């Protein structure tokens, strides 16, 4: 009961805060709406970027995924952080110097082509919609799992909140709510992590606990975990069954995909200068690393704890837990832990007694007894049940739920900005109605943001019925890596890159990655057919090189870009020298450094 109270308390309190910020940070112009007046402080933008980036999946599922995959989970850790190095060194400062509002702005203007702009819009929309479906689903799950409202109503409440600050405030409202959301989510993540680290290793800092001995024993935490999981018939925690090439390719696809994701890139248009964009990328990674370096520790601790408290325990049904557990204890037995029975109704943990002995066996695939998987634990449970496992007061659980919602809403809002600006700015203003004035564009922007919120909500409802969200996440990263990253990179670092090369490169990346993922995710799901053993998650990395090569070959066999464009590229390479150029800037003048 008290946990319910605290959950409502934190959810209502944080949501009111977000709405308050939305009213305070209303957008007055398209400059406010798309790029928050391009005057956000680099540290503030770094924090907003971190919230924008860390989704419901990062917050709830990643630690559990790592707990399950062990070393194999490293692809997410390196992939989703290493991309920021690429962003800081190769893209963000130059794109800021270019001085427009969106990624298709850059593609269309740098490559002097409406067709290139439209292909970029298609890529941006596709990437963002696949991503946002998962966020809205996360909101629905959080509400239905913890607050006793239906999944559908949960999504609608989430939509209303996002509607408020995305439609009213645009990028400006989104930025400041993301800052608040970051604070909520990082606090909710680290507090339970500190306590569980104390319990397992005696060290309050999870990062140090990760490389310490188990409390009161003379064996390191990871060694003990290795022994425990191999005894049960699982693979060693610090190893993986994946091939080295596949691990390499997935890490690469996630890194380059991160750097090419439009909702991340546009955050760097909100700062004042190229220099601010660089510093801001550094801060973003600091704030992201706080969670991403804690997650593997949480994953390992929780796996060890789950096995120790559940394996070999006598199952106690939730109905009469206290009495039954006390009886088993009195008989000298080991009852299943209380948190297990509390989470059972949500379906996130389940016990199937395959050998009918009433004891919970957590054996793995290599065990001889062959009744593997008597205990099912969803990857979300590790973070969600942490506070109870660590014996923390019930308000911490409420905080974790508010943190998960903050992670989902902040990412959804960033994606909505990409979707609405793709429609109102890239399509309406830049492609079809170049004479639209600022006021009209702002109205259209709000309208398309509103439409995007509704579309995202419907997609969340629809996606959860089909259950394909996890299947298509590979799309977002693969497509961003293979279709958007190459042409942005070449557009900055290779003056000779031209319109024809860009179009060929984008289409190559889009078609190859799309076909491979569709084929191996939905048509022939057997890994035996994978090319060179590379999974659909990693294929974007391989096709990225194909896309780069195609761009270079086609560019070299066609006419060089106009001198005007080449001068523009020279401008964006040297901070503070950007000047308007007739060809690329005649329809929209760049935001210059004041």
> Quick check: 583 binds other proteins (CB under 8 A)?
no
Instruction: Measure the CA–CA gap between 181 and 492, rounded to whole angstroms.
Output: 33
Instruction: Measure the CA–CA gap between 465 and 453, rounded to whole angstroms.
Output: 19
**Total number of residues that touch other proteins (CB under 8 A):** 55
Name residues contacting other proteins, limited to 210-249 (CB under 8 A).
Answer: 210-213, 219-223, 238, 244, 247-248
Residue-by-residue DSSP string for 128-186: HHHHHHHHHHHHHHHHHHHS---HHHHHHHHHHHHHHHHHHHHHHHHHHHHHHHHHHHH
Instruction: Measure the CA–CA gap between 333 and 313, rounded to whole angstroms.
Output: 8
Q: Which residues have C-beta within 8 Å of that of residue 164, sequence separation ≥ 6?
A: 18, 19, 22
From candidates 462, 527, 576, 589, binder to other proteins by CB under 8 A: 576
Name residues contacting other proteins, limited to 255-274 (CB under 8 A).
Answer: 255, 273-274
∠74-539-280 over CA atoms, to 5°?
55
Give the residue among 360, 271, 353, 11 at the shortest CA–CA distance from 161: 11
First-to-last C-alpha distance (Å) of the chain: 56
Q: Which is nearer to other proteins, 208 or 466 (CB)?
A: 208
Q: How far is the CB of 249 from other proteins (least distance, A)?
A: 10
Q: Which is nearer to other proteins, 471 or 567 (CB)?
A: 567
Q: Are 426 and 117 in contact (CB under 8 A)?
A: yes
Q: How far is the CB of 495 from other proteins (least distance, A)?
A: 10
> Quick check: 89 binds other proteins (CB under 8 A)?
yes
From candidates 278, 303, 425, 499, binder to other proteins by CB under 8 A: 278
From candidates 17, 19, 85, 359, binder to other proteins by CB under 8 A: 85
Q: How far is the CB of 213 from other proteins (least distance, A)?
A: 6
Name residues contacting other proteins, limited to 279-318 (CB under 8 A).
Answer: 279, 281-282, 285-286, 289, 292-293, 296
Q: How far is CA 201 from the centre of its chain?
A: 29
Q: Are 276 and 96 in contact (CB under 8 A)?
A: yes
Query: Distances in Å between the alpha carbon of 240 and those of 247, 303, 316?
Result: 9, 16, 34
Q: Which range in 22-30, 203-211, 449-457, 460-468 contacts other proteins by CB under 8 A?
A: 203-211
Name residues contacting other proteins, limited to 441-500 (CB under 8 A).
Answer: 493
> Quick check: 570 binds other proteins (CB under 8 A)?
yes
Q: How far is the CB of 298 from other proteins (least distance, A)?
A: 11
Name residues contacting other proteins, limited to 24-63 (CB under 8 A).
Answer: none
CA dihedral 160, 48, 10, 167 (to 10 degrees): -10
Q: Which is nearer to other proteins, 41 or 573 (CB)?
A: 573
From candidates 4, 9, 20, 78, binder to other proteins by CB under 8 A: 78
Q: How far is the CB of 85 from other proteins (least distance, A)?
A: 5
The site map against other proteins for 121-160 (x = CB under 8 A) is ----------------------------------------
Sign of torsion, CA 285 286 287 290?
Answer: positive
From candidates 14, 113, 190, 251, binder to other proteins by CB under 8 A: 251
Q: Which is nearer to other proteins, 207 or 334 (CB)?
A: 207
∠211-77-54 over CA atoms, to 5°?
120
> Quick check: 15 binds other proteins (CB under 8 A)?
no
Q: Which residues have C-beta within 8 Å of that of residue 252, sequence separation ≥ 6?
A: 79, 481, 538, 541, 544
Instruction: Measure the CA–CA gap between 24 and 22, rounded to whole angstroms.
Output: 5
Both structure tokens of 457: 């909500």
Q: Which range in 68-76, 146-154, 356-364, 384-392 contacts other proteins by CB under 8 A?
A: 68-76
* Site residues, other proteins (CB under 8 A): 66, 71, 73-74, 77-78, 81-82, 84-86, 88-90, 93, 207-208, 210-213, 219-223, 238, 244, 247-248, 251-252, 255, 273-275, 278-279, 281-282, 285-286, 289, 292-293, 296, 493, 570, 573-577, 579, 593
């Amino acid at each position: 009961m008290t946990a319910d109270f605290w959950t409502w308390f934190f959810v209502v309190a944080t949501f009111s805060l977000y709405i308050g910020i939305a009213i305070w940070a209303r957008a007055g112009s398209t400059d406010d709406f798309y790029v928050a007046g391009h005057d956000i402080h680099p540290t503030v933008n770094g924090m907003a970027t971190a919230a924008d980036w860390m989704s419901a999946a990062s917050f709830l599922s990643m630690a559990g995924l790592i707990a399950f995959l062990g070393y194999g989970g490293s692809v997410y850790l390196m992939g989703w952080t290493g991309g920021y190095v690429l962003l800081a060194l190769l893209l963000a400062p130059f794109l800021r110097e270019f001085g427009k509002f969106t990624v298709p702005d850059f593609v269309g203007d740098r490559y002097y082509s409406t067709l290139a702009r439209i292909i970029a819009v298609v890529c941006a929309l596709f990437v963002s919609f696949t991503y946002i479906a998962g966020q809205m689903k996360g909101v629905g799950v959080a509400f239905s799992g913890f607050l006793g409202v239906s999944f559908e109503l949960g999504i609608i409440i989430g939509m209303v909140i996002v509607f408020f600050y995305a439609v009213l405030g645009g990028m400006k409202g989104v930025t400041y709510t993301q800052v608040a959301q970051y604070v909520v989510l990082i606090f909710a993540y680290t507090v339970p992590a500190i306590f569980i680290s104390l319990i397992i290793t005696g060290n309050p800092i999870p990062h140090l606990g990760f490389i310490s001995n188990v409390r009161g024993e003379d064996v390191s935490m990871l060694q003990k975990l290795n022994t425990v999981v191999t005894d049960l018939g699982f693979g060693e925690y610090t190893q993986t069954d994946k091939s080295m090439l596949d691990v390499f390719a997935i890490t690469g696809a996630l890194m380059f995909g991160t750097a090419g994701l439009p909702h991340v890139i546009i955050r760097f248009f909100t700062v004042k200068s190229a220099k601010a964009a660089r510093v801001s990328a550094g801060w973003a990674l600091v704030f992201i690393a706080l969670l991403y370096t804690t997650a593997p520790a949480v994953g390992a601790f929780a796996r060890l704890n789950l096995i120790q408290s559940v394996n070999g325990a006598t199952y106690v049904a939730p109905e009469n837990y206290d009495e039954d557990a006390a009886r088993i204890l009195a008989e000298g037995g080991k009852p299943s832990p209380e948190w297990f029975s509390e989470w059972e109704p949500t379906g996130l943990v389940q016990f199937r007694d395959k050998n009918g002995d009433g004891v919970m066996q957590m054996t793995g695939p290599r065990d001889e007894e062959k009744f593997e998987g008597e205990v099912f634990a969803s990857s979300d449970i590790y973070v969600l049940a942490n506070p109870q496992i660590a014996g923390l007061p019930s308000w911490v659980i409420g905080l974790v739920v508010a943190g998960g919602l903050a992670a989902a809403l902040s990412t959804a809002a960033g994606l909505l900005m990409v979707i609405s600006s793709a429609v109102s700015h890239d399509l309406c203003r830049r492609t079809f109605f170049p004479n639209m004035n600022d006021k009209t564009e702002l109205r259209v922007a709000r309208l398309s943001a509103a439409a995007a919120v509704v579309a995202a909500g419907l997609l969340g409802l629809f996606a959860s019925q089909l259950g394909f969200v996890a299947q298509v996440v590979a799309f977002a990263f693969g497509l961003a890596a293979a279709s958007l990253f190459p042409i942005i990179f070449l557009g900055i670092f290779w003056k000779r890159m031209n319109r024809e090369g860009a179009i060929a490169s984008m289409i190559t990346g889009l078609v190859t990655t799309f076909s491979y993922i569709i084929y191996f995710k939905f048509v022939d799901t057997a890994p035996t057919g994978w090319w060179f053993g590379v999974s659909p998650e990693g294929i974007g990395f391989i096709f990225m090189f194909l896309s780069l090569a195609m761009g270079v070959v086609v560019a070299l066999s066609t006419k060089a870009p106009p001198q005007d464009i080449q001068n523009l590229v020279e401008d964006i390479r040297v901070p503070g020298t950007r000047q308007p150029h007739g060809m690329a800037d005649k329809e929209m003048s760049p935001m210059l450094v004041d």
